[in-house]
């Protein structure tokens, strides 16, 4: 069995601690800071074996070296970005698989937010750790990659089973929901989701994980084919990539 613990960090980051009970192996996904990770490890009585990095930004790799020094863990990251992943031990790329005990994680290259971004997909646990590529009701900004690259990356994630749980790295759902509603106002499922999010945030609870099925129904960056969204942003005759590019541009300027 794979246990997944959500650890809030910084202002809106989520760090994920994964523990495989049969073999007793433990990994942490995108550790921004070390202290909350070390606290939970001590509380649970777990030894850290691996760090899974999705990309090089400091709020995802900030604790790499300290955790490695204190625990002797191995750091896994993108081969394409090895120069920017502190302490990297194992380089992975599209199509590779890594093991955490009895659980296998498929690596997917998802450039767009950064050029070397990867995600980790565990089919048997129906879990996707997607960093800043996919957010609940949104997607990552294009800091290094192109709109076409990010669009192709999102297409990979759209094909995952609908029940796949989406563990993204930030609590952006409420803000993303306001934008989503501005371009998809007639989506009743989206309105329902936004109401659920508001209730959770009022209780200071996380809105994650989402699911691929829920994102297919409510995330405008998954729904650029939708005729109403296209009409609302004035792109009825354009390609899917062009629609995505305009959505991303509008979102970047959204207040």
Question: Where do the domains of the chain lie, and which CATH numbers do they carry?
Answer: 2-253 (3.60.15.10)
Residue 58 has pLDDT above 90, yes or no: yes
| Mean pLDDT score of the chain | 96
What's the mean pLDDT in 38-55?
98
60 is catalytic: yes
59 is catalytic: yes
- What residue has token string 């899974």? 52
Q: Are 84 and 54 within 8 A, CB to CB?
A: no
- Is 170 within any annotated ligand binding site? yes
The token duo for 165 is: 């749980």
What's the mean pLDDT in 112-140?
98
- Is 113 within any annotated ligand binding site? yes
Distance CA 175, CA 103 (A): 34
Q: At what angle do helices 173-183 and 240-253 cross, to 10 degrees?
A: 120
The token duo for 9 is: 């960090």
Residue 183 has pLDDT above 90, yes or no: yes
Q: At what angle do helices 147-158 and 240-253 cross, to 10 degrees?
A: 110
Q: How many CB atoms are located within 10 Å of the residue 138 CB?
A: 25
152 is catalytic: no
56 is catalytic: no
What's the mean pLDDT in 198-221?
97
170 is catalytic: yes
Selecting among 19, 56, 60, 103, the annotated active-site residue is 60
Banded pLDDT at 237 (limits 50, 70, 90): confident
- Is 19 within any annotated ligand binding site? no
Predicted confidence at residue 70, as pLDDT, reads 98
Predicted confidence at residue 214, as pLDDT, reads 98
Banded pLDDT at 238 (limits 50, 70, 90): confident
Distance CA 37, CA 59 (A): 14
């Amino acid at each position: 069995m794979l246990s997944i613990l959500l650890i809030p960090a910084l202002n809106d980051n989520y760090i994920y601690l994964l523990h495989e009970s049969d073999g007793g192996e433990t990994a942490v996904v995108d550790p921004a800071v070390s202290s909350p990770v070390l606290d939970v490890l001590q509380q649970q009585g777990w030894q850290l074996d691996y760090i899974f990095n999705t990309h090089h930004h400091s709020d995802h790799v900030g604790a790499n070296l300290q955790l490695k020094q204190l625990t002797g863990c191995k750091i896994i990251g993108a081969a394409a970005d090895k120069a920017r992943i502190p302490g990297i031990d194992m380089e992975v790329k599209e199509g590779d698989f890594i093991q955490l005990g009895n659980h296998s994680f498929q690596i997917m290259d998802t450039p767009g937010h950064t050029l070397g971004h990867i995600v980790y997909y565990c089919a048997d646990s129906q879990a996707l750790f997607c960093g800043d590529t996919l957010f609940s009701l949104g997607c990552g900004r294009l800091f290094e990659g192109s709109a076409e690259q990010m669009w192709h990356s999102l297409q990979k994630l759209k094909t995952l089973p609908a029940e796949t749980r989406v563990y993204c790295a930030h609590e952006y759902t409420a803000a993303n929901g306001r934008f989503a509603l501005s371009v998809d106002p007639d989506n009743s499922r989206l309105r329902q989701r936004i109401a659920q999010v508001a209730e959770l945030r009022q209780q200071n609870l996380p809105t994650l994980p989402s699911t691929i099925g829920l994102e297919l129904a409510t995330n405008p960056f998954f729904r650029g084919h939708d005729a109403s969204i296209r009409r609302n942003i004035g792109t009825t005759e354009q390609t899917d990539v062009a629609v995505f590019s305009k959505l991303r541009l509008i979102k970047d300027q959204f207040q």
